[in-house]
Amino acid sequence: MASSVKAVLFDLDGTLVDTEALILASFRYATKTVLGRDIPDEELRAKIGQPLTVQMWDWADGSQEVHDRLFDTYLEHNDRVHSQLIRSFPDTTVVLGKLTAAGLPLGIVTSKRSGNARRAMESTGIEGYFDFLVAPDTFPAHKPDPAPVLHGCELFGVSPDGCIYIGDSPYDLQAGRDAGCVTVAALWGMFAREELLAEHPDYAITSLSELVPIAVGK
């Protein structure tokens, strides 16, 4: 596989950056504050992987006002606790360094808004490894639509079959597969192993270091 890999696209949350505690805390606060009720973490976690504005419609009962209050309250709380709750995954910078040293360009395709995504990248020291960031406020389509992944391939100037897309959600794997990329399931993220394997990724790995032989061949 390595000889045909020309570039690597990554999801961000749950793949490169451990934001599960941050996301769940922000969801809990927003839904409790606006709706006055607690929503089980399992239900909250199931919404992760799509843009926040899409997720909030699931609890807004069709009300634009409720949607906007949920959205704003989430972002306000997320901003307050960001530095306390965001974490790096082990060996992330080591792996990114090996990929770039091998001459592979790297990019990110995320459902996180670009400002928050860049903040997460800066907080964990990975921003310098990437050529670009495709986010829902910079590109009109979002995962599981393959269009943002295809856009990433276009920015690289490589065909999808020469590009890896790695992510920790079913939406990531659906988008990567439908784009025609080599798909890699990140099994250390926020979704259950069974959910990811059900999408039939080309590879499933338990640590980011396992990506190196797939992409580089050594």
**pLDDT at position 97, please?**
98
pLDDT mean over 80-90: 90
Instruction: Tokens for 38, please give them.
Output: 């607690």
- List pLDDT tens digits, range 57-67: 989 999 999 99
Which residues are catalytically annotated? Answer: 11
Give pLDDT, residue 32.
96
Least confident of 31-45, 155-169, 173-187: 31-45
How high is the mean pLDDT of the chain? 94
Q: What per-residue confidence (pLDDT) applies to 2?
A: 60
**Domains, in order of start, for the chain:** 2-18+87-215 (3.40.50.1000), 20-85 (1.10.150)
Residue 1 confidence (pLDDT) above 70: no
Percent of the chain whose pLDDT exceeds 90: 83
The predicted model gives 17-35 an average pLDDT of 94
